[in-house]
Amino acid sequence: MDALRKEEIYTIDDIYALPDGERAELIDGKIYYMAPPSRTHQRISGKLYQTIANYIDSTGGECEIYAAPFAVFLNDDDINYLEPDISVICDQSKLDDKGCHGAPDWVIEVVSPSSKPRDYMAKLFKYRNAGVMEYWIVDPDKQMTMVYGFEKDIVEQYNFGEDVPSGIYEGFVIKVE
């Protein structure tokens, strides 16, 4: 009788031991290697970052915004390490030079073909359970943005070109294109 093969559990130490230039995320001890983002991905992510950063600056907001690669240690463990495309953190006590320890308030992931199952399933579950208030999945292939407002238990879908309201900033909308 063959023994069941035990899957290896990786830790944050394994992430930090990766060769320079190699990026990966860690979800429940499983490593997910990340391909370099496409130009479309970078353009969308950059515009979203710029729009949100300008809004925070113009309102004198206390939240901070970070673009990938930026470490998010989602749970108080060594088997979860994520690098969201965009993280907005309003609780300064969660931040140090290594990244964010705990749930960001707002996370945006721009879907790539290789990350689609992770963004729509595993990360959705992890972010919701960790206490992220709002999670956006921006899908260039589908030309849409899914908005998960976990605090209000809402899910909304917007097509590219439509105004997408932010749940953490009243009156702030972004046109994702």
Helices vs. strands in the chain: H and E counts, helices first: 4, 13
**Amino acid occupying residue 149:** G
pLDDT at 8: 86
Tell me the average pLDDT of the chain.
Answer: 93
pLDDT band (50, 70, 90) for residue 15: very high
pLDDT band (50, 70, 90) for residue 113: confident
Say what the pTM is: 0.93
Query: pLDDT at residue 6 above 80?
Result: no
> What percent of the chain shows pLDDT beyond 70?
97
The tens digit of pLDDT for each residue in 42-96 reads: 999 999 999 999 999 999 989 999 999 999 999 889 999 999 999 999 999 999 9
The tens digit of pLDDT for each residue in 130-158 reads: 999 999 999 999 999 999 999 889 999 99
C-alpha atoms less than 13 angstroms from C-alpha of 97 in its C-beta half-sphere: 0
Sequence-distant (≥ 6) Cβ neighbours of residue 4 within 8 angstroms: none
Query: pLDDT at residue 1 above 70?
Result: no
Residue in this structure with the two tokens 């990766």, named with its chain if needed: 18
Nearest 5°: the CA angle 102, 103, 106 is: 150
